[in-house]
Amino acid sequence: MTEDTYTHRPGQVEERDDEEAVANPNAPVERGREEWDWRGWVLVGVIVVCFLVIPATILYLPPVRPFKFAYLVLPMIPAILLGAVAVWSAQRSD
């Protein structure tokens, strides 16, 4: 290997200025410094609806509604929501 090749040595940490991190907007965010905004709450809401609300509705609704609605239409809601959130987050990651 040559001298300019990076080698990780456990225990050695290089100090760097915070200005250096601010100067480059494409630099990865350090763990613990991420921001929680409305996009995170949208994801939490979709997950709650898909994994708690819809299964509970499927469990308690069949005696009231027809079989087709409870077992064919209701499972499409999480599928569409999770698919839409996956596409949305993939577009946001660019």
The pLDDT tens digits for 33-59 are 667 788 888 889 999 999 999 888 888
- Crossing angle for the helix pair 76-92 and 38-48, to the nearest 10 degrees: 160
Q: Is residue 29 part of a domain?
A: no
The better pLDDT of the pair 66, 89 is held by 89
**What count of Cα atoms within 13 Å lies in the side-chain half-sphere of residue 30?**
7
Mean per-residue pLDDT, 20-40: 66
Say what the pLDDT of residue 48 is.
94
pTM of the predicted model over 0.75: no
Q: How confident is the model at residue 75 (pLDDT cuts 50, 70, 90)?
A: confident
Is residue 52, in this structure, part of any structural domain at all? Answer: yes
Domain of 87, in residue numbers: 35-92
The answer to the question of residue 50 being in a domain is yes
Q: Is the distance from CB of 65 to CB of 52 less than 8 angstroms?
A: no
Q: Does residue 1 sit within a domain?
A: no
Q: Which ranges constitute the DSSP H helices of 3-75?
A: 18-23, 38-48, 54-60, 67-68
Q: Which amino acid is at 31?
A: R
Count of structural domains within the chain: 1
How far apart, in whole angstroms, are the C-alpha atoms of residue 85 and residue 47? 10
Give the model's pLDDT for residue 21: 46
